[in-house]
Structure 1
Amino acid sequence: MFDACPVMEPSQVSDESRVLVIYTGGTIGMLVGQHGYVPEPYFLTETLRSQTRFHDPLQDSLFSNAGSVQGFRQWSSSSGRSSPLTSNTPDALPTPPTHQPTLLVRSARFIGDPSALAPNQSEMKDRPTCVQVADKVFEAYLPSLVTPRTTIAGKTKRIRYAILEWNPLLDSSNIEIEDWIRISTEIELNYHYDAFVILHGTDTMCYTSSALSFLLEDLGKTVIITGAQIPLSQLRNDAVDNLMGALTIAGRYIIPECCLYFNHTLFRGNRVSKTSSFDLSAFSSPNFPSLVDVGIDIVVNWNNVLRQASLQKFRAHKAMSPNVATLRLFPGITAATVRAFLMPPVRGVVLETFGAGNAPQRSDLMLALKEACDRGIIVVAISQCSKGSISDAYETGRTLMQAGVVSGGDMTPECALTKLGYLLSKNELSPGEVRNLIATPLRGELSRPLGSTGEFSDESLAKLRGVVSRFIQLSQPKPILPHITISSDSAGTTARNAAAAWSETAAEISSTEAALLPFLTHLAVARDDLDSLQFCIDADDYANVQSAKGNNMGTSVPGGVINCLDPASDRTPLHVAALNGAARCAHKLLDSGALVHCRDNLGHTSLYYAARQGHMEVVQTLLQAGARLGGIDIEGGYAALAVRAAKNIGDKHCLEIWKQTGLQA
C-alpha cells in the first residue's frame, strides 16, 4: 500500500519534487551561547520558514514575482502594496496559509519527545505528534516547506521539502557509528521521497559521507550532505548558499550517489577530505573531479556520475564494525607499537604510509605486520599524501604487499576506514574476500588504473560507420530492409564519399556519434532489439574511456545513452521499454545503470507506463529494481483512474498488474 499524502491537483505536483531534509545538527543551525556556538531546537526550521527564498507557499514573494520588470511592478502595486524603493513603510511578508500540506516522515528514533527539552523550550512550539509503528520506528506528519518556482535550463520547478530534526541535535564531533546507521535507516524508511539532503557538522562530514556511500546499497536517488562554516544565525554566512544549492541539485537531478555539497561544488562523498577549518572552501577532492559545478549555470559533469547496475532494490545496510583503526607511520616507529596497535579486538587497520606506499624496511616491523595479516587482520595501505595513489614502483612498497598488506589505491583516510568497517560487518565475507573487495571500487571510491593514452586511429572512424549503419537499419519501416553497411570499396573509397564528407578529426567524429547514439538507443529499445542496444552501450562506453584518456570523445548525454532523454518528452530508454513492453531491453538497461525513478515531462515513471500498458514482465522487472509509484502517478489520480477503468470492464490481467505495484482496487 502507498504512503498517505495530501491530495493535490496534477498541476501542483507535476512541477514539484519532494526532498526530505534530515537535520542532525552542526554549525549550520547554531546560535551563540555562553560558551560559544550551540545547537538550538527549531531555530533552523523556523528561520527557513520565515525566508521566502526557502518557503513561499502562496507564490507571493519578491522571489516569485521578479522574473520580469512587468511582473515585479504588477506584484509591487497589487493589493495596495507599494514598491519598497518609493515607500517608507516596510513591505510585509505574505501571510502563510492556515493549513500547510503535511508530508509523512518516518524516524528510526522517537522524534518530538517534549520531555527531552527544557521546560521553557518545550513550551515554545507544539512538537509534531509521533506514532510508533514498529520497534524504534516512529512516523509523523510534518508541515512542508516549498521554494518559489524557479526556471533552470528552460524547466520550471519548485521543491517541496520537510525537515526531520533530530532530538537532541548533535555536534558532528559526537557523531558515532550508530548515527550513521540511523541516517541510512531513515533514508530507507522515507524512500518515497525523490531525494535527500542531510545537514551535518563539517568536522566529521567526510566520515559520514563515506560511510553512507557504502551503507546505502543499490542507491537510485540523490543523497547530498551539506553544512556550513558560519551558521545561518549570522548575517554573513555560507549556510544559505550551501543549503539552497543542495536543495536545488537534489530537487532537479537524479545523481544516484551519496554526495557532499560545499561552496558551489558537488563532490562524490567518499572522495572528499576537509582541508580547511577557516576557509569557506573547506573541502577538496584531490583524486576525483567534481560531479556538479554551480556558477552562473549549474553544470552537471555526467561522465563523472556513478552508473552501476540497478537490478536490485535499494536497501540500507545496518551494521558497521567498530573494530577498525588508523595507524600513521612515522620515522622511528617501533615494532612494539605496531604489535600493540594490532592486538584484538582490532580486526582491520588503515596504514597511512609514506609517499606512494613506502614504509621503513626494518625486519621486525615487517614481521609484526606479517604476523597480523596471517592472523586475519586486514591491513590497508594508503598514502599520507592528499593527492596520489599507492603503487609498487619502489621496493619499500612491495615489501608491504609481500607481508600481506593490501593496497587502498587513492582512497582518502576517511573512505578507507569506513569501507573497512563496512566490509568487516558482513559476516559472510572471509578475510580473503574482504582483501579483494578493498582493492575493488564498490562506489567509485578508488580509481581504476588507466591504460596507455594511445593515438587517435581508424578504429574511431570504423566505429562511427557502425553507428551510422545501425541507425539506417533501425530507421527503416518494418519489415526491416537488408542490412546496409558503410565500408571501404576495393578502390579504397569509403561510403562517405558517396553520401557525405565525414571529417576524420576526433572532435567531429565524437560530436557526430554523440548526436546519433541517443536516437539509435531509443530506436533499439522501441523494437526490443537487444543486439543493437548492446552496440549502443559498447559505443558509449568506448567514448567515455577515450574521454578519460584525454581524447575528447566523451558524450554529453546525462548518464550516457542508458539515460538519454527524448527532447520532446523527456522520456528515457527505460520509459520507451515500459511503453512498448520491451522486457529484454528493460532488463539490459537496468543492468547497465538505468535510473528507475526518472520522470518524463508529464511527471510519469517507467513503472506507471508499464502498468498502464499491461506489460506484466516489465512491471516485475522494474519492481525488482526498486521502482515504485508516487508523485503525480498517485496524487494526480492517474493510477487510480486506470484501476477504476480496468475494474469497470472486468480486466483481471490489468487489475493483477496494478495490484503488484501496490495499488489495490
Structure 2
Amino acid sequence: MSSSSEALVLCLYAGGTIGMVRKDASSGFAPYPSFLTETLRSQSRFHDPHADSIFSWSDSVDRYKAWSEAFTRPGSGASTPLNGSSSKDNAVNSIPAEGDLAKAVAEKRDQLEVDGASQANKKRKSEHDSTGKKGSLTPSTQAHLDHIYADTASRSPSGAASSGSPPFGHPVLVRSSAPKGTSTHHAHSSNLSPDGKHLELQLPTLITPRSGANGKRVRYAVLEYDPLLDSSEMDIPDWIRLASDISLNYQAFDAFIVLHGTDTMAYTASALSMLLENLGKSVIVTGAQVPLSELRNDAIENVLGALMLAGSYIIPEVGLYFASTLYRGNRTSKVSNNALAAFDSPNMAPLARVGINIEVAWNLVERSRSVKSFRAHDRMSPNVAVLRLFPGLPTSTVKSFLSPPLQGVILESYGAGNAPSRQDLLDVFKEASDRGLVIVNITQCVQGEVSAIYAVGKKLEAVGVVAGGDMTPECALAKLSYLLAKGLEPEEIRELMGRPLRGELTSSRGGSGGQTIPQELTPAGLGPIKADIKTLLAHILHNPQSTTTLSSPTDTSGPASAAGWDHSSHEVSKASLAVLPYLIYEAASRNDLPLLQWHLYALSQLETIPTISIDEEHFHPATLNPSTSNASGDAASTSHIVDNDSTTPLEKMQPLHLASARGYTGVVEQLLQAGCSVHAREVATGHSPLFLACKNGNLATVRLLRNAGAHLKEDEVALARFLVQRQEERSKDDSEARKVWEVAGVSFA
C-alpha cells in the first residue's frame, strides 16, 4: 500500500480503442498486447520514476533552470536536451551518442557530474551550493538536484535503460481472478494462489510526476487482460471478472481505473456500480476515441485525468471519465461516435470537471452511509432484454418477445412513459407480469423521466409495469440483471427498481445523490429544512438544546429575519459551508452526540442545494475552536487542514480521525453514517482512522471501523509491528496492545 504522499492505483486494462494499433495501412485498428503499457512507460508525463523529467521541474523558474542546466548541453548555437535524443540526432547536434556519453562519464567523473552537463554547469552548481544569497536554490530543490547529479552519472541521458525507455518502478503484488485470461508479459513473477483459483503476479509499477490536489505522485500498475477485447464483445462474465479483480486487490490499492472501449463503456460502468456494494474507493472507467498509437489523440488527457482524480480524491463511486469530465457511471450514455466528448449524463450534473482547476461537486458524490464493509457481487442474470416501442408494433411480436426464459424487460416507451392503449397489448403485459416477469418502464427520450401523468401511462401501471424514473437504458438493464440474480420475489424487485440503490435515479423525495441524512440521525421533531439560505444559517447558529423548532422564513420574530441579511444567498451559503466543518469538529472533540447530530443534519440539508459553491475560504480553526485538551496520540493539530478542493466539507477537519484516536465510538458511528471515509489519511501523520484507534488502544472503535471496511495499509502494518516490538524490548506487557492490532488485521507470526 502507498504512503500518505503517494497514491497506489491499479489499472485494469480490458481492451478498447485506447491501446489499438493499425496492422497496416489497409486494415483497421485492433488491440495489440503490451502496446499500452509500453507507451505509458516511454512517456515521462506518465512515468517519471526518478522525478527528473521536465514535468517534475517546471513548477518554478528556479527549478526549471536547475533542470535545464543538468539535462541540456551546448550545441550549435543552442542548448539541446539530451533526453530522448537518438544517436542520429546526437551526431547532428555534436552530442555524443549514448554509448560514447556513458564512456565519457566513466572517464571524466570529475568534469561531468550529470549527463550532458558541462564543466561550466558544474561550476555553477558549486556556486549554488556555497551561496545563500537571493536567487540560490531552496534547500529542498538543492537536495533533489543533488540526488539527480549523483544518480544520473550511472544512467543513460534519458534516465533510461538501454532500451531508451525509463525502467519500471518497484513491483507490487496484483491478483487476477482469471489465471488463463491474464497477460504476464511484464510480470517479474506469476504463480497460482494456493487454492489454484487466482493468479498472483509481481507487476512492475509506473509513476507520474508530482501533481494533483495534494502534490502526490501516483504510482500505478497495469493488469492487462488476455485476450484484449473490443468493447462490443463485453458480456456479463467480463463485468463479473472486473468486479472480482477489484475485490481481490481492494485492500492493496487506493483506487482503480478500468481502461475500456467506448461502445459499451456505459453498460460496464452501470454494471460495476451495482456489483460493487458499499464502495469506499474511487473506481474510474475511461478510454479513448483515438488510440495512443495516433499522434493526435484523446487518450493522453483521459488517462492522465483519470490518474489524477483517482490518486488525489476519494470519490467512492464508479465514475466514467471522458473529455475532462467525471460523471456518475450509471448515469451516462454514449452520445457520439465521432466526437471526443463521446458521453453525457442528461439527467444529472457531472461529479467533477477538470479544467484550469479541478472542481468536484461534493454535494453530489454518493457515499456509503452504513457501517458495512465493501463487497463485490458475482452474479447477474442473463435473462433480461430491452423492448423499444414503435408505432405499429404487433401484439404478437410483443407476446413472443416476453416468453420464457425471459425474467425481466426494460420497456422503452414514449415521452413520459406512454404506450398504445390497445387492450390486447395491455393484456399481454398483464399476463407476463402475473407469471412473474418484471417489466420496467423508461422513456425513449434522452432527458426526462417516466411519470404517469397521462391516462395511457397509468394503464401500464395498472397491469404491473413499474416506472423506472430517469434511469438510462444501460443502467436499467444492469440493475434489473443484478436484482434478478439475487433470488428476490418479483414484487420486491419491482419495488427496488423504483428506489435509488447507487444514485442511479432521482428519488421522488428529491435529490439524485441520496445525500439526505439517515432518518435515525435526524434530530427529533424535525423534517427537511426548507431550502432557504437564511433559515439554514439560522439553524446552524441555533442552540439545539434550547429548542428544536425552526422559524418559518416568513416569521418576522424568528432568528432568520432578526439577522437582517443584506448578503446574497450564494454568499451566505458559502459562509455556512465554511463554518460547519469546524462546528462538526468541535462537537466531535467534545464527544457531544446531540450537537454533532444537529450540525450533521444542517450540512446534509445544505448539500441538497445544487447551486451552493463548495469553494469555501480557509478559516483558521483557532478562531472558531478555542484551545481544547489534546489527548496523547490524538489526530493532528487542527492547524493542519485538508485542502478544501480535495475532500468533502464534512471531512475537511477530519473529525473521524480525532474521534477514532480518542475512542469516541458513538461519534465515529455517527460520522460513518453521515458519509465519512474510513480510507482517508490524516494530513499531518499520514495515518488512517483505524491506525489511530489501534495506537490508542480503543478496541470498541477498532471493531466498529473494521465492520465499516477499514483496513491498515502496508506502511501502517510495518509501523504497528515496530511499536509492539519496541514495547517487548522494554519488557512491557503488550498483550492488550497486541490484541487490538490483531483485531485490526495485523499478523505477528
* TM bracket, shorter-chain basis: 0.7 to 0.9
Task: Tell me if structure 2 keeps the 8 A contact 1:409–1:439.
Answer: yes
Task: Tell me if structure 2 keeps the 8 A contact 1:503–1:509.
Answer: no
1:568 paired to 2:568: no
Q: Which amino acid aligns with 2:66?
A: Q
Aligned match of 2:17 = 27
Aligned match of 1:511 = 574
The CA deviation at 1:133 is: 3.4
Choose 227-236 or 457-466, whichever is displaced more.
457-466
Aligned match of 2:237 = 178
Counterpart CA distance in 1 for 2:290 and 2:210 is 27
* SS of aligned partner of 1:339: helix
Aligned match of 2:54 = 62
Aligned match of 1:256 = 316
Aligned match of 1:590 = 672
In the TM superposition, what whole-angstrom CA distance separates every residue of 1:554-592 from its partner, at most 9, and x where no partner exists? 76679xxxxxx9662435121111011110111111122
Which residue of 335, 348, 363 corresponds with 2:423?
363
Q: Which amino acid aligns with 1:578?
A: S
1:467 paired to 2:547: no
Task: Tell me if structure 1 keeps the 8 A contact 2:395–2:425.
Answer: yes
Choose 525-534 or 226-235, whichever is displaced more.
525-534
The CA deviation at 1:483 is: 10
Task: Tell me if structure 1 keeps the 8 A contact 2:187–2:204.
Answer: no
In structure 1, the gaps of 5 or more residues are 6-11, 117-121, 474-481, 559-564
Counterpart CA distance in 2 for 1:159 and 1:460 is 39
1:541 paired to 2:604: yes
Counterpart CA distance in 1 for 2:382 and 2:456 is 30
1:132 paired to 2:193: yes
The CA deviation at 1:134 is: 2.7
In the TM superposition, what whole-angstrom CA distance separates every residue of 1:478-529 from its partner, at most 9, and x where no partner exists? xxxx9999999xxx8888999x875575344423322321111111111221
Residues 134-533 of structure 1: pairs in structure 2 closer than 5 A? 134-150=195-211, 152=213, 155-192=214-251, 193-427=253-487, 429-449=488-508, 461=534, 463-470=536-543, 503=566, 506-533=569-596
Which residue of 61, 64, 79 corresponds with 1:72?
64
Q: What is the number of residues matched between the two proteins?
A: 617
Counterpart CA distance in 2 for 1:201 and 1:85 is 47
Task: Tell me if structure 2 keeps the 8 A contact 1:84–1:91.
Answer: no
* SS of aligned partner of 1:161: strand
Aligned match of 1:579 = 661
Counterpart CA distance in 1 for 2:223 and 2:706 is 28
Task: Tell me if structure 1 keeps the 8 A contact 2:73–2:80.
Answer: no
The CA deviation at 1:664 is: 2.6
The CA deviation at 1:87 is: 3.5
Task: Tell me if structure 1 keeps the 8 A contact 2:361–2:614.
Answer: no
Counterpart CA distance in 1 for 2:714 and 2:581 is 27
Task: Tell me if structure 1 keeps the 8 A contact 2:207–2:219.
Answer: yes
Task: Tell me if structure 2 keeps the 8 A contact 1:469–1:485.
Answer: no
Counterpart CA distance in 1 for 2:179 and 2:560 is 69
Counterpart CA distance in 2 for 1:350 and 1:496 is 48
Task: Tell me if structure 2 keeps the 8 A contact 1:514–1:556.
Answer: no
The CA deviation at 1:462 is: 5.2
In the TM superposition, what whole-angstrom CA distance separates every residue of 1:265-313 from its partner, at most 9, and x where no partner exists? 0000000000111100100100000001011101111111112314111
Classify 1:201/1:281 alpha carbon distance in 2 versus 1 (closer, same or farther; 3 Å).
same
Task: Tell me if structure 2 keeps the 8 A contact 1:259–1:269.
Answer: yes
Give the TM-score of the pair, scaled to structure 2.
0.77
Aligned match of 1:119 = none
Q: Which amino acid aligns with 2:661?
A: L
Aligned match of 2:688 = 605
Classify 1:344/1:557 alpha carbon distance in 2 versus 1 (closer, same or farther; 3 Å).
farther
Q: Percent identity?
A: 45
In the TM superposition, what whole-angstrom CA distance separates every residue of 1:64-99 from its partner, at most 9, and x where no partner exists? 112222222221222664599924575342125767
Give the TM-score of the pair, scaled to structure 1.
0.87
Task: Tell me if structure 1 keeps the 8 A contact 2:182–2:223.
Answer: no
Aligned match of 1:615 = 698
* SS of aligned partner of 2:290: coil
In the TM superposition, what whole-angstrom CA distance separates every residue of 1:576-611 from its partner, at most 9, and x where no partner exists? 110111101111111222211011223211001000
Task: Tell me if structure 2 keeps the 8 A contact 1:603–1:633.
Answer: no
Counterpart CA distance in 1 for 2:75 and 2:504 is 52
Counterpart CA distance in 1 for 2:543 and 2:64 is 52
What is the CA RMSD across the aligned residues, in angstroms?
Answer: 3.0
Q: Which amino acid aligns with 1:18?
A: L
Counterpart CA distance in 2 for 1:662 and 1:641 is 15
Classify 1:459/1:211 alpha carbon distance in 2 versus 1 (closer, same or farther; 3 Å).
closer
Classify 1:181/1:524 alpha carbon distance in 2 versus 1 (closer, same or farther; 3 Å).
same
Q: Which amino acid aligns with 1:642?
A: L
* SS of aligned partner of 2:421: coil
Classify 1:360/1:148 alpha carbon distance in 2 versus 1 (closer, same or farther; 3 Å).
same
Which residue of 7, 13, 24 corresponds with 2:3?
13
